[in-house]
Amino acid sequence: MARLRAFFAANASDLAAVYLFGSVARAAARAESDVDVAVIHLRPAPSPLDRLDTELAGRLERLLERPVEVVDLEAVPADLAHRILTDGILVLEADRSKRIAVETRQRAQYFDLQPVLNEYRRLPRAP
């Protein structure tokens, strides 16, 4: 965690916030587990393709010596955003107002979708 905080403190000029989530955040990672990171950018991207954080993921992979997946918290499905915000660890907060605005919007989308998700989860699974 200290290496992640130091990395983002030095390399996050365009990020409002960073979260660690998944098995590493839950302290359930195995040797082959990847590292899951969610980011909130300070400024909107001109297109969704401009939000592919492959360069950031590559730099993190070299630092951590394991696979890293970076997702944009504003672009993930509502149920994944909810899991990130519920179970994730805030690694960096460079812009509190932006972080709170994104979290509020994502949580509202999840709670709007929750009745549909609950109904879907009650459906029987195909054999």
No. of H helices and E strands in the chain? 4, 4
Q: Enumerate domains of the chain plus CATH numbers.
A: 2-122 (3.30.460.10)
In whole angstroms, what separates CA 107 from the centre of its chain? 14
pLDDT at 46: 64
* 113 against 123, higher pLDDT: 113
Distance CA 111, CA 91 (A): 25
Give SS3 for 36: strand
pLDDT in tens, 21-80: 998 888 888 888 899 999 999 987 766 666 668 888 999 999 999 999 999 999 999 999
pLDDT at 47: 67
Region 70-95: mean pLDDT is 95
Q: Which residues contact 38 (CB under 8 A, 6 or more apart)?
A: 18, 19, 21, 70, 71, 72, 73, 76, 84, 88
